[in-house]
Structures are given as C-alpha cells and as structure tokens.
Amino acid sequence: MRVLFDIGGTQTRIALSRDGRTLGTPIFVATPQTYTEGISVIANAILSIARGEQIEKVVGGVPGPLSHDRTTLISAPNLPLWAGHALSGDFSKVLSAPVYIENDTALVGLGEATHGSGKGQSIVAYITVSTGVNGVRVVNGRIDPSARGFEIGHQIIDAGAISAGVPCPSCGGGGELESFISGRSVSATHGKHPKEISDGAVWSRLAVYLGYGVHNTIVYWSPHIVVIGGSMMRTVGIPIDQVRDAVANTLKIYGEDLPPIVGAGLGDIGGLYGALALSHTIGS
C-alpha cells in the first residue's frame, strides 16, 4: 500500500492507493503551523486510515523549495516554522516506511500531466496562481530535473516596479510576477479577499500580467500545452480566455502556432495524483 499526501499552508490532503493505480477517498486535515505538531498530526492521520496495513512507501508534496537531496524544506512562506527540518526522515521514523517529498506545485503539475488536463501531451507546463505563484515543466510523465526547484513566480515582468519598490510578498524582490497576481498581493493591494473583488477591470488587468508570465514560460520551456490552476483561476478570478488573448497579443515568434492554454482539471487533489504518479518512479 502507498500513502500519498499534499501539505498545504492551511490544509493537508491524504489518500491511500492499494493497487498503485487508483486513489482511495481522500481525507483532509488542518495543517498545524508548528513543525513538531505538524509531523504528529499528519503521521497520526496516515496511521489512522492505514489501519495497521503495511506501508510500502509514502510520497507527498510540501509547500516550498527543497534541499538538493530532497529531504528538507529550505523555505516555506506559508509554513515558516517548517523550514530547515528534515521532513522525510522525521516522517519515516514515525511511519516506519520510506518517505519521499517533492515541491507541492511540481506534484500538482505532474498530476495534471498524467491524469488531468495535460494527459497525453509529452511536454506540459503547469502554472499555479494561488496564494503564491509557481510552476513546473513535466516531460514524458516526469518532473523535469532542476538544481533548486522551479520558482517561476519570481520572474521579473516589470523592471520599472523594481525601482518603484513594489515587493514580492514572499521574497521581497521587485517587479516579479507574484507581486502582481498572487492572492496575497491582490489582497494587499485592494484591501479585501480576491473572491470579494467584483470589478472586471481588475481581473482583466491581472490576465494581462499572467499573460506575460505564460509568454515567458512558453518561450523558455516550449511546451505542447500550458495548464493553469490555483484558487485565483476560479469563477471569481482571472479569466483564462483573456490570458489566451494576452499571450496571442505578445507572443509573435511562433506565429499562430501557439500551444493550447487550458484550465486545470483535477481540482484540489491534483497533488495526490502527482504523488501517485511519482510513486511509480521513486524509491524503486
């Protein structure tokens, strides 16, 4: 039996796979903000649903960049007290099974590439626009190798904003994509939760900024398809058709041969499907 998890800043998703191909019904637990409590709460939830069955391996996503050996969360803007701890080793001790971790966005992108909107495409670029912004390149069903993990939300799209002092909410840099379109930035700019913003002009402006980021992603990663997910892309959110228009207006080097730009298809459990896919290629 394999255990799959996806740790978010406020909620953790957990599911079992007994056949290695399908997911059992996911459970959701609140993510503790302190590390020691987090390990205890999540491990106990896993042991509870495992019901004494032998665990072959545990695979899951964590919210931030990882160390080179993929054992430690280097930084975590949404879970700062988790940074610097050896998650895989600490979980392994409690669960008596090997534990493998990957960046949460990378796993959601892998899930979309293997089971969601990117299924059947060889090169998938996945972008999430949520509290923060990030993305991943998936090639032939595998997360593309990287030295430090992908952090595409920190690409600079407005050099003028650097000197103007517009800060990225998670790293403090200026002029970055995340500074303009992340949920945290939009809340700070407008003084309200993004879902409370009804002004279509605001969302149209954000679509243009996201279009710049998609433009850059396409010319660097040359994907067959771009999949965009995250809480900022829902019914009240950035219109994906306007993102397509923004990309078409700026990206000229390929003529009209642009990849499809589509919404994510797996909802809140894309990371669990990504963990399931990764479980086939890791620790074997």
Instruction: For residue 232, give the DSSP letter.
Output: G
Is residue 147 domain-resident?
yes
Cβ atoms of 62 and 50 closer than 8 Å: no
Looking at the structure, tell me whether residues 34 and 150 fall in a common domain. no
Which residues lie closer than 8 Å to 51 by C-beta, 6 or more apart?
Answer: none
Residues 145 and 206 in one domain: yes
Tokens of 271: 């990371």
Average of pLDDT values for 124-149? 93
Residue 233 sits in a domain of what CATH number? 3.30.420.40
Q: How high is the pLDDT of residue 163?
A: 61
144 plus 74 within the same structural domain: no
Question: Does residue 196 lie in a domain region?
Answer: yes
| Confidence category of residue 77, pLDDT binned at 50, 70, 90 | confident
Do 197 and 234 lie in one domain? The reply is: yes
Same domain, 96 and 197: no
In the chain, what percentage of residues exceed pLDDT 90?
Answer: 82
Say what the pLDDT of residue 169 is: 75
pLDDT at residue 172 tops 80: no
Same domain, 143 and 87: no
162 pLDDT higher than 80: no
pLDDT per residue as tens digits for the range 33-49: 999 999 999 999 999 99
Q: How many domains does the chain have?
A: 2
Sequence-ordered list of residues with C-beta below 8 angstroms from that of 180, at least 6 positions apart, any chain: 157, 158, 206, 209
Assigned domain for 284 exists:
no
Average pLDDT, stretch 97-119? 97
Residue 88 placed within a domain: yes
Looking at the structure, do residues 165 and 100 belong to the same domain, yes or no? Answer: no
**Is residue 117's pLDDT more than 90?**
yes
Structural domain includes residue 113: no
- The tokens for 205 are 């402006």
The reply to whether 158 and 63 lie within a common domain is no
Residues making up the chain, counted from first to last: 284
Q: How far is CA 215 from CA 7, 24, 184, 218, 223, in A?
A: 29, 37, 23, 5, 11
Summarize pLDDT for 271-284 with one digit per residue, the tens.
Answer: 999 999 999 998 76
Region label for 155, one of left (φ > 0), alpha (ψ between -120 and 50) or beta (otherwise): beta
Highest-scoring range by mean pLDDT, 156-170, 183-197, 239-253: 239-253
| The predicted structure's pLDDT at residue 284 | 61
Q: Which domain holds residue 68?
A: 2-106+268-279
Q: How far apart are CA 23 and CA 32, in angstroms?
A: 24
In a domain, residue 92? The reply is yes
In a domain, 111, yes or no: no
Nearest to 31 by CA among 45, 4, 10: 10
Same domain, 44 and 82: yes
Residue 31 lies in a domain: yes
Mean pLDDT for 249-259 is 95
pLDDT for 283 equals 77
- The tens digit of pLDDT for each residue in 202-217 reads 999 999 999 999 999 9
The Cα-based distances of 99 to 25, 70, 102, 158 in angstroms read: 21, 10, 10, 40
Task: Select the more confidently predicted residue: 129 or 166.
Answer: 129
Say whether both 164 and 215 belong to one domain: yes
Mean pLDDT of all residues belonging to the chain: 93
Q: Are strands 142-143 and 133-139 parallel, antiparallel or unpaired?
A: antiparallel
Residues 147 and 217 in one domain: yes
Residues 82 and 129 in one domain: no
**Does 166 score more than 70 pLDDT?**
no
Question: What mean pLDDT is predicted for residues 198-203?
Answer: 96
Question: Can you tell me the distance from the alpha carbon of 279 to that of 284, in angstroms, rounded to the nearest whole number?
Answer: 8
Whether the pLDDT of residue 170 is over 80: the answer is: no
